[in-house]
Amino acid sequence: SLGLLMDASDHGSTTHQPVLSTDFLYPITGQVFDDQVTLETGQTYERSAIQEWIEGGRKDICPIKHQKLSATILPKTNCVLKDLNANWREKNAGSAKETKVLVQSKYESPEIGLSGSMKLKHSSSEISVTSQVDGIVPELTSDISKLWLSGSLHEIENSVLAIKRAWGNADADNEIRTSLAKPDVVSRLVEILFNSLDIRVLRTTIYLLSELVARDETVMQTLMQSYPNILEKVVVLLKKGIFEAATLISLLRPSWASLVAMDLIHSLLAVVKAAVQEGSEQPRMYLRPKTAAILLLMEVLKGDDGNVHKVGGAVIAEKALENVVSSLESDRTEERIAAIRILLNCIKEKGSCRRIIADKVNLSSVFGIFMSASVAEKFEIVGFLSELVRIN
C-alpha cells in the first residue's frame, strides 16, 4: 500500500508523527523521491541516480534485481507516486522542522524498522537524512549512501574500504550491522565480489559479508536465495589465494557433496598452513580463516567414500601436521574437536605420523575439552589418546 501510516510513536512517546511507506523513499539513503521512474523490472529509482548508474557503464542491469534491461532509455516519471509524495510534503510542511519517519520496508520485518531524523525545507523538496540508525556514525551513513548511489566501480570500491575503516573505529556495532544488513546493501557488496579485481577490496568485501552472515541469518538467506552461484564465486576467490574466503564458505554451510565437488582440500590446507595473521590491515574476524578451513576439512571427513582418505593423505603430503596440531590450542572447542578428527584420519592413513603428533601436542588442551564434549566426541578424544599411547 502507498498509504501513509500516521499512528507511530517514538520510544513510548505519545506524540504521533507522520510515518512514510518505503514506496516513497529511495533505498539506502531514506530520501523521499523527487522524480521517480519505474523500470521494466518493477523497481523504482530516483531518476538522477539511475541515470548515473546507466552512464557509469552498467546500462543493461537493474541495480537491485540484477535483471537485464531490454532498453536503456528511462521511462517517464511515475506520476502517481510523484503526486502522492507532493501531497505528503504539502500536508506536513507546516509541522515541526524535524519529523520522525518510520520506514516500514517491504524488504524487512516490522521489528527491524529503520528510523531517522529528516528535515523538511519549505523552499524545496530537498530532504536531509541525518541518521538512518540511532547511534550510527555520520561518516558511515555517508559511505553507505555512496556505495548505493554511485555508478562508478572505483567509487564503490573506495566506499567499501571506507565502510570497513569506519566500522573498525565505531562503537555502535549493532547499529552498524543493522544498517549494512539491508538487502540492497548486501546486493551491492555481492556485485563488488563479482566485478572487482582489487585484492584489497575483495578481501574487505568478504570480511564485511562474513561478519554480516555470522550475526544475521537473514543475510545468508538473501545471499543463497538471490545469488545461488555465490558459493562458486567465493570458492574461486579462495583458490586464487584470498584466504578470508574460507570463512565465508564455512558460514554459508555448504553440503558435504558440494564440498567434495569443489575440490577444496588443497586450498583449505593452504589456509591452515598460512595461518592468516590478523594485523592492523584486517580486523579480527568472527570466524578466523584457519578455523573455518579446519571445520571445512572436518566436514569432508563426514563422507564415506575415497575423499575421506584424501584429507589425511593431503595433510601428511603437504606437511601440514604441525599446523593442524596447533588448532588443539584454539579458543574454540569446535576447532579442537575438528583437529582431533583430522589427526585421527592422518594416523589411519600413516601410522608413523603418531610420533610427530605426540611430539607437538599439548595434552592439557585435549583434556581441557573432554568434560564439555558430547558422548561421541569423548569417544573420539579417547581414541586419539589411545593412538598416541601406542608409540611406546
Q: pLDDT per residue over 288-347, tens digit each?
A: 999 999 999 999 988 766 667 789 999 999 999 999 999 999 999 999 999 999 999 999
Name the more confident of 13 and 211: 211
Q: Which residue is associated with the grid cell 562503537?
A: 171
Looking at the chain, which residues constitute the CATH 3.30.40.10 domain(s)?
Answer: 5-129
Cell numbers describing residue 89: 510534503
pLDDT tens column, 164-189: 887 766 555 667 777 788 887 888 89
Regarding the domain delimited by 5-129, which CATH topology (the fold level of the hierarchy) does it fall under?
A: Herpes Virus-1 (3.30.40)
At 190 the three-state DSSP class reads helix
- Percent pLDDT > 70 in the chain is 66
d(CA 307, CA 211): 30
Q: What global pTM score does this model have?
A: 0.66
pLDDT tens column, 62-95: 766 667 777 667 777 666 666 666 776 676 654 4
Task: Give residue 110's pLDDT.
Answer: 30
Our CA angle for 98, 35, 68, nearest 5°, is 120
Task: Give residue 51's pLDDT.
Answer: 78
Task: Give residue 227's pLDDT.
Answer: 86
The amino acid at residue 33 is F
pLDDT band at 27 (very low <50, low <70, confident <90, very high): low
pLDDT band at 232 (very low <50, low <70, confident <90, very high): very high
In terms of average pLDDT, the best of 44-48, 280-284, 300-304, 345-349 is 345-349
The amino acid at residue 297 is L
Residues 6+ apart with CB under 8 A from 226: 66, 183, 187, 190
**Which of 181-190, 250-259, 280-289 is the least confident region?**
280-289
pLDDT band at 52 (very low <50, low <70, confident <90, very high): confident
